[in-house]
């Protein structure tokens, strides 16, 4: 099994001396190719911190991270940026679309940042929008979109460079139940139909049921006793696991 990203005994501390606080403590796990992994935990459990470390946006206090077999700590800042750019896309709870750019321009923005010419790949980008049900919105601006449409645009943007791994940080947190469900079906199809991998962090039991496996982060540590397997996981099993862990 090929792992796209691996966490090895990760620690992340904040503060100094008596005020030193452990945000993550000894976290180890891996995400394989064509796998949908979910990490569940309440607010403040370290989920977003973990994603920042895995994406190279922040550095662990101890432990190491490998992305496609490369130790991020051994890469220069420029090498780390290039590896992150080519290996993974990031979807946030807040859509982070640029209001003065059209949908197509927002989706092509990562290519422009990488020094490429999005207009040369317009057909491919429009095809990506079509796959997400947004082709007719290509010339619209973010303020003309619904919340669900804006999140789908952010997913398209995260996938525009062909990255094999998608990190999703509470992607349905600002959406209606219907729009959130549509987004989760899209993430599932990315794994099943496109062969991508997804790492989702959430506190939503419904969203967790779309994953191949669910891990639980409690007070900065992954539970060693509880791991659920899907897909087809029933939401009641997720609720039972959360209740057993008192989260």
pLDDT by position in tens, the chain (length 247): 689 999 999 999 988 877 788 899 999 999 999 999 999 988 878 888 999 899 888 889 999 999 999 999 899 988 988 898 889 999 887 888 999 999 999 999 988 888 888 888 889 899 889 888 898 999 999 999 999 899 899 999 998 888 999 999 989 888 889 888 988 999 999 999 999 999 999 989 999 999 999 999 998 999 988 999 977 889 999 999 999 988 8
pLDDT at residue 1, as a whole number: 62
Question: Could you tell me which of 55, 58, 61 has the C-alpha nearest to residue 24?
Answer: 61
Query: Beta strands of the chain (E only): which ranges?
Result: 3-14, 21-32, 36-40, 62-67, 70-71, 88-91, 165-169, 197-202, 213-218, 221-229
Residue 137, helix vs strand vs coil:
helix
- Superfamily (CATH H level) for 3-244: P-loop containing nucleotide triphosphate hydrolases (3.40.50.300)
pLDDT at residue 117, as a whole number: 85
pLDDT at residue 95, as a whole number: 81
pLDDT at residue 204, as a whole number: 92
Residue 147, helix vs strand vs coil:
helix
pTM, 2 dp: 0.91
- Burial degree of 15 (CB within 10 A; 0-12, 13-18, 19+): exposed
């Amino acid at each position: 099994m090929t792992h796209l990203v691996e966490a090895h005994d990760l620690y992340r501390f904040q503060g100094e001396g008596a005020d030193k606080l452990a945000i993550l403590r000894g976290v180890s796990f891996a995400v394989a190719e064509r796998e949908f992994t979910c990490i569940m935990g309440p607010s403040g459990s370290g989920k977003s911190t973990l994603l920042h470390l895995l994406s190279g946006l922040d550095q662990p206090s101890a432990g190491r991270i490998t992305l496609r077999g490369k130790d991020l700590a051994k890469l220069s800042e420029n090498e780390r940026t290039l590896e992150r750019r080519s290996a993974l896309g990031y979807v946030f709870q807040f859509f982070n679309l640029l209001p003065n750019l059209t949908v197509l321009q927002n989706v092509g923005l990562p290519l422009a940042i990488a020094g490429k010419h999005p207009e040369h790949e317009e057909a491919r980008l429009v095809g990506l929008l079509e796959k997400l049900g947004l082709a007719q919105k290509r010339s619209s601006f973010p303020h003309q979109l619904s919340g669900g449409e804006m999140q789908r645009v952010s997913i398209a943007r995260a996938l525009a460079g062909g990255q094999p791994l998608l990190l999703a940080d509470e992607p349905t947190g600002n959406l209606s139940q219907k729009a959130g469900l549509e987004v989760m079906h899209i993430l599932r199809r990315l794994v099943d139909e496109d062969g991508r991998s997804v790492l989702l962090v959430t506190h939503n039991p419904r969203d967790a049921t779309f994953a191949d496996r669910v891990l639980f982060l409690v007070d900065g540590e992954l539970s060693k006793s509880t791991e659920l397997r899907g897909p087809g996981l029933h939401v009641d099993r997720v609720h039972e696991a959360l209740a057993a862990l008192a989260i």
